[in-house]
Structure 1
């Protein structure tokens, strides 16, 4: 199912929907996520949440966790961390790794539940010890942070490094970064740390890469400055003006390499274009709001609104016809 959706979501949509309607729980969850994301189908978060409800009602811990995600992130429903925590707890107690991780995160942050680092650690450890998978890797990284920073207990950097290694080997880019940082701080072995920094940058999302780039760009080590340059390049994939400008500045100053004024100018230009486009869209949105609230617009519906009403009436009649059959 995952392969079909990844290869061609539009073509897979009918197949996944049909499987969901036929009671296949994994398809119900996949179809719900496609609706939430608008992946291969028109975006409809409320309908997606309802499919998560269906899977959860069938006894699926993964479905229950996804209902929790809907309440935490406001997918088709008002965001409600307290209700999210209740669903996460049910999934966690059923042994679901992501449910355990998500519940632990709410407990650690005190969102929707009373803050409890001790109970959060309990659930991170349980998720980390479940075996492989992304939830286990991310949970191992969080256990490492408890041990390194001494949250509610004495700091144990050596033990933290072992947990970071579990997270890093499991593919968690934050675990890879934390392991590299701790190795460098404790041993000074750049040859051990640099490969993990590199893996973290290649796996990380743009926002994380921005953090890595800024953290490493001031290093006196040429190897780390080169990694910082690559991190800022990855961050620029976001298309955000500040990321484009930061990477352009790094190219201009020759961070980890020879200065490249021509390439820097291209990124500075892209940053300006992105800012101008953002201003244009903001102005267009403001104009639309002003037009909709003007006295003339309130006197009578526009042709577009009349057409929309006719379409809704026709759709309602069609639904009644289908239901009557």
Structure 2
């Protein structure tokens, strides 16, 4: 189902909702996530939360965790980490790795609940024992950080290096960066660190690549400065004018090994264009009144989606729309 959604979210939307309405719990979670993200459908976090709650009522630990995420991040409800904690704890105690990781992070940061590093480490360890999962890899990275920084006991950098490697090999781009960084600090082997720096840059989100670019920009080794330039290039995927300007400055000063005035000019031009687009979009949003959209009852909306899905299944062309009248 996830493969089909990623191939064509809009085409999959009807089928995912139909499966959710049929009571398939995994489809209810997938449909809730699509509504929260606006992935293939109009974004509706409140509706997404309702689907997570429905799946959670069926006993899904993944759905219970997602209800917690909604409260922590404000998807369909006000931001309230304190309300997220009980959901995370319920799913964590049932053995769900992401809930264990999320609960550990709340305990580490003290968001909504009292900070408790010892308990945070306990839940990170439980998540890391969950096998070959993304949550386990990220938890391994956090255990490495606790050992490097000495949260509850003296720092143990050698043990930290082992946990960072576990997170890196599990695919966590933060673990890849920390493993490369500590490997470089302890051994001075640039050749061993470079592949891991390169992997974390290609896997990381723009905000993380911005951090990597800043960290490697002043490195004495030209190989690392070239990786810094690649990280700054990846950071511009955010579309933010500030990221484009930073890249322009790096190209102008020859961060990649040689001056690139043409590339710098292009980056600065794209920054100006991005700013202009934002100004136009903001002005249009302020000037145009919100359009009137007729509200359909949930039952009628479900019926329309199911009818559309059946038409697709049997190759029936869509009917001509009729005006909606309110007879109440």
TM-score, length basis structure 1? 0.89
Which residue number in structure 2 is paired with residue 279 of structure 1?
A: 279
Which residue number in structure 2 is paired with residue 134 of structure 1?
A: 134
Cα deviation, 1:111-166, whole Å, max 9, x if unaligned, reads 11110000000000000011111100000000000000011211000000000001
Which residue number in structure 1 is paired with residue 154 of structure 2?
A: 154
Cα distance in 1 for residues equivalent to 2:218 and 2:74: 39
Cα deviation, 1:232-272, whole Å, max 9, x if unaligned, reads 00001111111101111111111122211111101101111
- Pair 1:117-2:114 in alignment: no
Which residue number in structure 2 is paired with residue 295 of structure 1?
A: none
Which residue number in structure 1 is paired with residue 247 of structure 2?
A: 247
Which residue number in structure 1 is paired with residue 15 of structure 2?
A: 15
Cα distance in 2 for residues equivalent to 1:144 and 1:219: 23
**Structure 2 segments unaligned to the other structure (5+ residues):** 304-328
SS of equivalent residue, structure 1 residue 41: coil
**Residues 26-65 of structure 1 mapped to structure 2, 5 A cutoff:** 26-65=26-65
SS of equivalent residue, structure 1 residue 176: helix
Cα distance in 1 for residues equivalent to 2:218 and 2:271: 23
Cα distance in 1 for residues equivalent to 2:208 and 2:130: 26
Cα distance in 2 for residues equivalent to 1:69 and 1:141: 21
Cα distance in 1 for residues equivalent to 2:262 and 2:226: 19
**Greater RCO structure (CA 8 Å; 6+ sep):** 2
For the aligned residue pairs, the C-alpha RMSD in angstroms reads 1.9
Which residue number in structure 2 is paired with residue 221 of structure 1?
A: 221
How big is the shift at 1:286?
4.9
Cα pair distance change 1:163/1:252, threshold 3 Å: same
How big is the shift at 1:319?
4.9
Which residue number in structure 2 is paired with residue 89 of structure 1?
A: 89
Which residue number in structure 1 is paired with residue 259 of structure 2?
A: 259
Cα distance in 2 for residues equivalent to 1:191 and 1:238: 30
How big is the shift at 1:101?
0.4
- Pair 1:188-2:188 in alignment: yes
Cα pair distance change 1:203/1:319, threshold 3 Å: closer
Q: Which has the higher helix share?
A: 1
Cα distance in 2 for residues equivalent to 1:35 and 1:150: 41
How big is the shift at 1:20?
1.0
**Structure 1 segments unaligned to the other structure (5+ residues):** 293-303
Cα pair distance change 1:285/1:12, threshold 3 Å: closer
Cα distance in 1 for residues equivalent to 2:52 and 2:88: 13
Which residue number in structure 2 is paired with residue 166 of structure 1?
A: 166
Cα distance in 1 for residues equivalent to 2:153 and 2:267: 47
Cα deviation, 1:151-185, whole Å, max 9, x if unaligned, reads 12110000000000010000000000000000111
Cα deviation, 1:190-228, whole Å, max 9, x if unaligned, reads 111111111110110010001111111111101000100
SS of equivalent residue, structure 1 residue 30: helix
TM-score, length basis structure 2? 0.88
How big is the shift at 1:285?
4.5
How big is the shift at 1:284?
4.3
SS of equivalent residue, structure 1 residue 195: helix
Cα distance in 2 for residues equivalent to 1:111 and 1:214: 28
